[in-house]
Structures are given as C-alpha cells and as structure tokens.
Structure 1
Amino acid sequence: MRRLLGVVPLVALAACTGGEATPQADPSAAPSHDHGSARVSLAVGDGTERYDVGYTLADVVLPGRVGEPGELSFRIDSFRKEAQTRFLAEQTKKMHVYVVRDDLAVFRHVHPEMDDDGTWRGTLTLPEPGDYRLVAEFVARDEGGNGDHVLLGDRVEVEGDWQPAPVPEATGEGGDWGVEADVLTQLRAGAQQQLTIRLTRPDGATPSLGQYLGTTAHLTGFHTGTGGAVHMHPLGAPGPDDRGEAPGLDLQFHAEMPEAGTYVLFLQVRVDDFLHTLPIPVEVAA
C-alpha cells in the first residue's frame, strides 16, 4: 500500500513585495534529510484530506475552550486499520502538527508525543474560536524500514463568535519587533525553485540566527483558497546579503508550489534566542 514517489536528494499579518527573481533550483540539489539508511518518499498530500497512500488521520480532538491550554489528540491508522506506531524523525521530530484557522489568521506548530496505543497527545492554546484544520506531517516507517512522507488533515470547529479575517495582500514581507523578512523570489506553480528570504533587524544590526529543529529555519505555506499545505526545507547555511546596505542574512529553501494563487508562508526562526513566527503573504504565479 505504499506509493514509491522517488527520493528528493501570530497572528497579525504583515505587509510589500520582494519581487527579485531567482533562478530555478536544480532538482538534483533538492534537500536531503538524514533518515539513516532508510529511503523516504516525496511528500504526499497537502493536509486537506484525512486519507492518502494507505494512512488515515483519525479521532482528531482540539481544545474546546479558547484562551487557555487544552489537549489535542489524534491517531494515524495504517492500511491494516490499526494504529501506525513506527515513524522516522523529520527535522528532529516524529510528528509535526500545524493547527490553522480557515482564514490563516491563527497558526500553531506543535510536536505531540505518542502514547503506547498509538494516540498522539499534546497541549495547545487557541486564542480565538473558529473553523480550524489540524494538519499532521509525518514520515511513517513501512514494513521494509523505509519512510512514507505524508501530510493529512481534518477539520474541527471551535465554538464561539468570530469573524474571518480578510485575505491578506500578497506583499512578500513579514516581521515583528525583533526581525523582518523579505521574500526575494518570484515563485511559480509547478516549478522546483530556490526560494530566498532575507532576514534583517529593525535596528539595523545583523540578525543573530540560532537553530530551530536542528536547522536554520522552518517554513510552511498554506494556500488561502484551498488551505493546501506546503513544507519547504532549508538549503545549507544562511549567507550575508549582497546589497551593501544594512546587514542581513539570506535564507535559502527548496520550494515546489503545486498551484498558483495567494499563500501565507509561516517562517519560524530563532533570533537572539527567541523563536519568532512570521506570517508572510506571497503570490505564486501560474
């Protein structure tokens, strides 16, 4: 039941576009991830379906109250209709969970732990009610010891009065009090590309970048129309920008956007020992 796809070697939105084009990435330079001797498939699914390639996201529960910690839980079932309990770590974690509201105005990224019976449990605080989707990203270890990289999702309503936020303008920029991000790549649907995001600090100093999940950054995007998720992996070490102006750092990612439209990229970086989550709305051309 495993599809071999080949191996690939918060909430306030910010605002103005990067627009500097960069060349398409060489597919042979796509990121590799250390899974030991296991071979891992290309990622399957975009988190909008509960089932794909033999795996099912089951029994999803989100906290029923907002503004206070609550439990999230779910299970991944295999094609044998029983809990999948063997996983490989991806960016240091065996399970990445993204909880996003339909309007993408709320985003949470958590790493639950698995019980002996295969149920994943974690703690989550949701700031507001609304229509949410839990997206589980994992690499399931199959019977041959190799990995199936899968994204599954399911919807959960958190009751209460709320109004969807408008679709953000695709400015290509995001930031907060400590770090600013500027997308320099014109992304195109269906193309493997090298995505460059420039980091700067509001005070003009060079950002002091630490590690998060064993690498320079974590980047996940969501289509504002379909809700489809895309995970983009970092490529190598960050380099200094080449503007000759205020010091900055350029982060490189392998990106392959499946369809055109507006996305919100959620960039997570550790700067000056603080984890920043930056929403960056971008437009992907056809």
Structure 2
Amino acid sequence: MKANSQASGWPAKLLQHGTLIAFAGIALLPLYFMLVSSFKTRDEFLSNQFGPPETPVLSTLAQSLAGGDLFGWVLNSLAVTVASVLLSTALAALAAYPIALMKWRAGPYVLGVLIALMVVPPIVLVIPLFQIAAALRQLNTYQTVIVIYTGMLLPFSTFLLASFFRTLSPSLVEAARMDGAGSWRIFRSILLPLSGPALATVVTVQALWVWNELLIAIVFLQSDHLRTLMVGLTVYNSRYRIDVPMVMAGMLWGTLPMLLLYLAGQRFFIRGLTAGGVKG
C-alpha cells in the first residue's frame, strides 16, 4: 500500500519539479542573453543572436566604458545607494528597537502606520515632493534624492527589523538592564551583533531597490553629470540602439555590483526574511 502511494506521488513531484525548472529557465533567459551578447562583436551578433559566442571577445565590454559616461553613472548610483541604505538602515534600527522591545504605548500604532505606508505607490508622491524640493531650491541635488529614498525605504526596513527584534529573548534585555546597561548600550552591544541576518537582508533589499529605481532619479536629477545608472542606461540604449552587444555590455556592468552584493550576503538573506515568521 505504501509503495503504491509513493508511486502515485511521482507524477505530481515530477510535474512540480518540471514547473520550477521551466520558470527558472524563463527567469534566467534575459540574463543569459545579456551575458552572451556582451562577449560578441556586432557582426557576430547579427549572425548568431541567441547562441554562445564562437570567439568570445572583451572589446565590447572595454568599449562600453571607453566613453566615460557609463563609469560615471555607476559611481553616481553607488554614492546614492550607499548613502540612502546606510541612513535608512540606521534610522530603521533605531526606530525598531523601542517598537519591539521597549514598553512604548504608541509603538503598535506607529508600526501600523508604517505598514500602511508600505502600500503607497511612489508615483503619487512625486508631484508634492517635486514642489517641496523646488520651493527649497533643492532640485538637482543628491541630498534631495537620498532623503526621498530614505523615507521610502524606512517603512519596510522598520517593519522587518521590528519583527526580528521581537524574536529575540526578552531575558537578554532584562539581564542587561539588571547589570546596569542603558538603552543605547543594549542596542549597540546586544541587539546589533545578534541582528546580522536581518540587517544583511535589509541592506540587500534596499540596495536593489535604490539601484534599480528610475522615477525619482529621472525627475529630481535632471543634470547630465548627476545621472544615476538607470537613467544613464536609458540614454545609453537610445545612443547604441543598433549595436545590441554594446547595450548589453553596459547593462552587464550595471548588474555586476548588485550581483556581487547578493552573492556576498546570500547566506544571511533567507534567514533574515524568515526570521520574523516564527516567534522564538
């Protein structure tokens, strides 16, 4: 009877695995196309669009950086991303601590407001934010964009860190208080060292969002020398529309920093996402 039930379960498992493989292939297809095209010349791409390069070349990757614009866009995106992520992570951790572990009566209400803000689409905020920046004469400045990104990242980051802090044992905090540690010492010496997975998850998710964001960057950074990578790649695509390998090489350069970030923090990523799911 057991053997029959196991045999009958094989078609369902095979279908499930086949479906997962098919979806993975569909998701990886654009990455494959970008990768193989970046190592082709224009002539080889016209004769072999989807196959691997017969003779891989590095000249396309080198030429994509030769103009200097692409490298500058990457540096601009790095500056905005690093500043926004560091500021929002620090503020989110400081906000999540009293919400999760301190006897703050307003904590649940504040967390509820933050959760509600997570569903507000950024596009509805563009016009009022633009008017505020224009009134303060802060258009075309990185400071404005960093502040906007920080505000948009705070709700999710605070919610995730508060959920993680609640999984920590309250006895740790109580024991530290009995030993004479203040709130700042508990936060710095106990909570932060234990929050590595959650912090890595927050940093990774935030960096991916800021790095790929286009709407805020294109509205508030209108000068050519201030362009971030996503805005620059739009210009890059129109400039080299006919030369597909050149466009793919530029996109590959833009993908590498976030790919390296994810690979560096992947062992913490899933742990951090699921940390608040079950209270320990």
Measured against the shorter chain, the TM-score band is under 0.3
Higher-strand-fraction structure: 1
More RCO (CA 8 Å, sep 6+): 2
Structure 1 or 2: more helix by fraction: 2
In the superposition, the TM-score normalised over structure 2's length comes to: 0.26
Greater Rg, structure 1 or structure 2?
Answer: 2
Q: TM-score scaled by structure 1?
A: 0.25
